[in-house]
Structure 1
Amino acid sequence: MSSANDKGFRGLSDDFIADLQDGGFLSSLIDLIRKDSSLSLEIRHDYINVYYRGGNLLRLSKLKEHVYLPFFDDNYFRDKIGFLEGLPEKIRSVADIDYWRNKLPALKSEMDQWFSINPKAEREFQQVVVWENNNSSISNHTDYFIVDIEYDNKRGGRFDMVAIQWDSNSIARKLQGGYKPKLCFIEMKYGDSALNGKSGMLGHVKQWSEYLGYEENKKDIKEEMLNLFKQKRDLRLVGGLEGNGNLVKDFADDIDCIFLLANHDPEKSGLKNIIRELGQINIPGVGIKFCIGNFMGYGLYKENVISLPEFNKRYARQIYSKG
């Protein structure tokens, strides 16, 4: 087992990684995920989630060495009778994983029907952010890579997305001149109804302050994300870094917490009021920032991740047009 698993961090055992890599009997699943832009694989504690449109299409858990338990949430089914009949209950061979792999288009169709009635726009667009920055044609040129989504360590650390800022210039990508990538946490809010309440912007800042106020928490999550990022690269799930053999071994001391706000209505005053309150909050060693779109895309560039005062100054009319 890897040290990540020994500590209870998210991460896969060495034999799980080997089974997923080229030559392993689960490699056809990884190959599909690399080629299908609608899918995203996220690493958990010795299991993986394959996301589709922000929903969990397939969970694959390790039972023992080279034996895995597949799971699909049958709540997505309109008619639950017999849909998964004939699929292996355990995966221990190429034939087993291929049975499930070939069933995925039908499972995606069931999820499409469910999402038409139960839309999850925030999670769906979150997955688009992952794809654009990790695996799209421009991902080698963005300044951020997404390491994880829907992170919750059950100890106060909860984040929509965990990212690293690894600047796209040659010195940074070669990790020269003392450069260290920065760990970042991103909260995505889709529409104005998501800005307030317990899970709203102020609630997130309170949670950031409580969790990141302890140096041990920062140390642990940095260690966890270094391993997670390495494992994703080992599985060739960060296409924007193909050909880059430089291993990230440490993060910069400071951390950024970033809001990504999608489809805010400038005629609504709620965001302006929230920003006024955010201006009174300071978290030592943590920058509160806002991500702005680069001409309508979700590619994350350092020039477009700006401080709260700059955001307020540059986009006052977009924050509230009636003020």
Structure 2
Amino acid sequence: MKIRKISPSFVDDLKKEKGVLHWFYQRVISPNSGLSLEIRADYINIYYNGGSLLRIQEDGEHHYIFKFDEKYGIRKNGQREVEGGRVIKDKKGKEILWDKSMAKNYEQIHNINIDTAKQLFDTLIDMMDGWFSEHQKAERDYQHKISLPENNKNVLDIEYTISNSGMRLDMIMVDDKGDLNIIENKYGNNSIYSYVSDKSKRKIENPEFSNPGLSKHYKDFLKLIGNAYYKNNLVASMKSILNVKQKLEILPNDIFIKKDPDFRFVFVLADLNKNIKNIRKAENVIHKLVYESNEIERSLIKEYSPRLLLTCSDEYTIKLNETKDFIGYDFERFFGLK
């Protein structure tokens, strides 16, 4: 598993005024851009509203490969033909319907480079807006707003995946003690449980299913903590990311990570309503996990008990010093129900 880092020349090409990537850096850091820049292994992602707008990968000194995810150009009732009258089919042989701008600029976007990325930058953003309108997801939008430096200056990374493990972490933040906080964002009551559809297409609550409910994410965290290789790679990546983002002046210089940081797991639950049945879901899924864990897992749960922060749908600042112990949390008292 590679450490998330980029080369010094990559950093210079972003930050220096004459750097070949400086134009993109300026777009990201401009006020209210809605964009974030995330460090990967030898490449960066520029995110817009929770989706990857551009992937920029180093391919030799001062040379970069650009990639735009063409799924954002697909429409449910779109245009059949792209420029030149071509019809594009998916892997199953089904014709793909496209956004008008995607159809008009298909070859330029399909073979995107530094010049066309600049030229079509705003077009790509508009295209993503069209895709988001067809695939609305409040949780994705909420997490993106949390990740922006103007809302939280201590977010190190988002969408951290561990290869060949099935594990993915929503967000990693560092607190004022230099410890790492693994954040799992959930928006609305329906996000608490995982669901699986039966043969009649009904959704059945299933907290142990592989889709990402509370139980699944917390178990992933325990696997991470119990695996020295995964844990050490995560720490190394976060230290590297912090170093790069401070050089880019995306994060302030007073943030630090301890030499041997502690870990905490925090559920950020946004926009929960007062329906007591839904509140019980949040309580029961963690209690069930604790009671059914084996001895090793139980010892980890005792040491790394999950934390909780309840927020409103329009509250984007995460106050790590205000988290509470999830196990035994009094939801009814919080919502004034008793």
Counterpart contact for 2:178–2:257, Cα < 8 Å: no
Q: CA deviation at 1:258?
A: 0.5
Distance 1:128 1:181 in 2: 23
- C-alpha contact (below 8 Å) 2:66/2:112 kept by paired residues: yes
Q: Pick one of 46, 60, 68 that aligns with 1:50.
A: 46
CA deviation after TM superposition for structure 1 residue 252, in Å: 5.1
What is the Cα deviation at residue 257 of structure 1? 0.5
CA contact (8 A) 1:54 1:120 kept: no
Amino acid at match of 1:292: L
Aligned to 2:263: 255
SS of the aligned residue for 2:41 comes to coil
1:209 to 222, 246, 253: 222
Asked if the contact 1:58–1:70 (Cα under 8 Å) also holds between the matched residues in 2, the reply is yes
User: In structure 2, what is the Cα distance between the partners aligned to 1:226 and 1:204?
Assistant: 23
Match of 2:136 among 112, 119, 127: 119
| 1:176 paired residue number | none
Q: What stretches of structure 2 of length at least 5 have no aligned partner?
A: 74-98, 195-209, 292-297
Distance, in Å, in 2 between the alignment partners of 1:25 and 1:282 is 51
Question: Which residue number corresponds to residue 33 of structure 1?
Answer: 28
CA distance in 2, matches of 1:34, 1:221: 26
* Equivalent runs, 1:1-20 vs 2, <5 Å: 8-20=2-14
Which amino acid letter does the alignment assign opposite residue 282 of structure 2?
L
Compared with structure 1, are the counterparts of its residues 309 and 86 closer, same or farther at alpha carbon in structure 2 (3 Å cutoff)? closer
Residue identity opposite 2:5 in structure 1: G
Which of 274, 287, 292 does residue 276 from structure 1 map onto? Answer: 287
Instruction: Show structure 1 runs of 4+ deviating over 4 A.
Output: 84-91, 278-282, 317-321
Asked if 2 retains the 8 angstrom alpha-carbon contact of 1:288 and 1:308, the reply is yes
Matched AA of 1:113: G
| C-alpha RMSD of matched pairs (Å) | 2.7
Q: Which residue of 2 aligns with 1:173?
A: none
Q: Within 1, Cα distance between the matches of 2:214 and 2:336?
A: 16
- 1:182 is aligned to 2:176: no
Q: 1:257, 1:289 within 8 Å by CA — same for their partners in 2?
A: yes
- 1:215 Cα deviation from its structure 2 partner: 3.3
TM-score computed with the length of structure 1 as normaliser: 0.78
Tell me the amino acid that sits aligned with residue 81 of structure 1. Answer: A
**Cα–Cα, structure 1 residues 304 and 101, in superposed 2: closer, same or farther, change >3 Å?**
farther
CA–CA distance in structure 1, aligned partners of residues 24 and 34 of structure 2: 14
| Distance across 2 between alignment mates of 1:272 and 1:87 | 47
Between 264-273 and 286-295, the greater mean CA deviation after superposition: 286-295
Percent identity over paired residues: 27
Q: CA deviation at 1:89?
A: 4.4
Report the CA distance shift for 1:247/1:108 in structure 2 as closer, same or farther (over 3 A): closer
Corresponding pairs, count: 283
Closer/same/farther in 2, CA of residues 22 and 261 from structure 1, 3 Å limit: same
Map of 1:76 onto structure 2:
72
Cα displacement (A) at 1:87: 6.6
Deviation at 1:282, TM superposition (A): 4.8
